[in-house]
Amino acid sequence: MTFPVVGMVGGGQLARMTHEAGIPLGIRFKILSDTPQDSAARVVPDVTVGDYRDLETLRAFAAGCDVITFDHEHVPTEHLRALEADGIVVRPGPDALVHAQDKGVMRERLARIGAPCPRNRIVASPADVAAFAAEVGGFPVVLKTVRGGYDGKGVWIARSAEDAEEPFRAGVPVLAEEKVAFVRELAANVVRSPHGQAVAYPVVESVQVNGVCDTVIAPAPDLSDELSGQAQALALTIARELGVVGHLAVELFETTDGRILVNELAMRPHNSGHWTMDGAVTSQFANHLRAVLDLPLGDPRPRARWTVMANVLGGDYPDMYPAYLHCMARDPGLKIHMYGKDVKPGRKVGHVNTFGDDLADVRERAHHAAGYLRGTIDE
């Protein structure tokens, strides 16, 4: 066979769904997984179990692949540079990926290309935080570890200098940002190939609960054409200027004064794009694979007027199967995606997609299914 081999570092649900998208493309897919019990390791035939932080493990895994990509951003940047020096194709490359790995690097580069961001600064102590707060109008301010945070981890709201002590206990650099007055959070998802072709999905509204994505509505309701176009153009510009290859999610604030500001970047398939599995002509996972292989990109247009994605979190009932059967029977149009994970309270174990012409109905169906699966709804 001459079809290429894609190696994905990480064995989580993003790798699982990327593998699924690659099956009809005819590619061969390998993963480097932390354990045999990881979400993707349960379904992908070709699994290497090993530590992505070990360079020799990465080299051995990459040796059998035509391209390396990721389901998380935690691989050390210097290891990726070493792989490239070995002649291994890494997409996105380390010069791009570092902007999703290091928030300080990201903010500095976004400022240079003129992308709108909250005011920010690297701080070294609670006194630095207090000085920054005075410059941006006072407390509260947002503190983030420069590397390693996700799903609300590594993020604090500091309401005083004393409140700012905890982030510094880990001994890692900390980024201070002004606490933005925003109406809602948005996400602009784009995909870019090595030769510069790029596509943009509709801008979505992302609803967070306790720092974790709860619901995504595609497209974002009542978002003006002007602001939607600005968000898509901004995401495409960032992808081009940073040299991104693959999927880029630009998480945004829609501010109370009608602007958009960049919150975070993710250079991989993203939770805000899960709706595309059932709601778009070409999913984010399929387009990510097309991009890293430099294939022509697929159509990103939506299939329905509205699509709503709701994350399924683990609750107090470890056996979701009876609820799963109920949801399928109650709503034959519902699309349920389970990740093969053991159910633990608060853990992402799946998501549901609904679609249709009536937003209120589509949203209710998604929330009912996600709640019933978790056990917070019993009728």
Q: Show binding-site residues.
A: 103, 144, 177-180, 185, 263-264
> What confidence tens digit (pLDDT) does each residue in 41-66 have?
999 999 999 999 999 999 999 998 99
Which burial class, exposed, middle or buried, applies to 36 when counting CB atoms under 10 A from its CB (0-12, 13-18, 19+)? Answer: exposed
pLDDT at 1: 59
Closest CA to 263 of 197, 193, 208, 300: 208
Overall CATH class of domain 119-178: alpha beta
Domains 5-90 and 119-178 share a fold: no
pLDDT at 163: 87
Q: Cα separation of 286 and 112, whole Å?
A: 32
Structural domain 5-90, CATH architecture: 3-Layer(aba) Sandwich (3.40)
CATH hierarchy code of domain 182-374: 3.30.470.20
Contact 180, 253 (CB under 8 A): yes
Q: Show binding-site residues for ATP.
A: 103, 144, 177-180, 185, 263-264
pLDDT at 169: 84
- Is pTM, for the whole model, over 0.75? yes
3-state class percentages of the chain: helix first, strand second, coil last, to nearest 5: 35, 30, 40
CA distances from 137 to 130, 131, 180, 327 (A): 11, 10, 11, 49
pLDDT band at residue 151, thresholds of 50, 70 and 90? low
> What confidence tens digit (pLDDT) does each residue in 217-249 have?
999 999 999 999 999 999 999 999 999 999 999
Question: At residue 148, does pLDDT exceed 80?
Answer: no
Contact 146, 122 (CB under 8 A): yes
Domain regions of the chain by residue span: 5-90, 119-178, 182-374
pLDDT at 152: 63
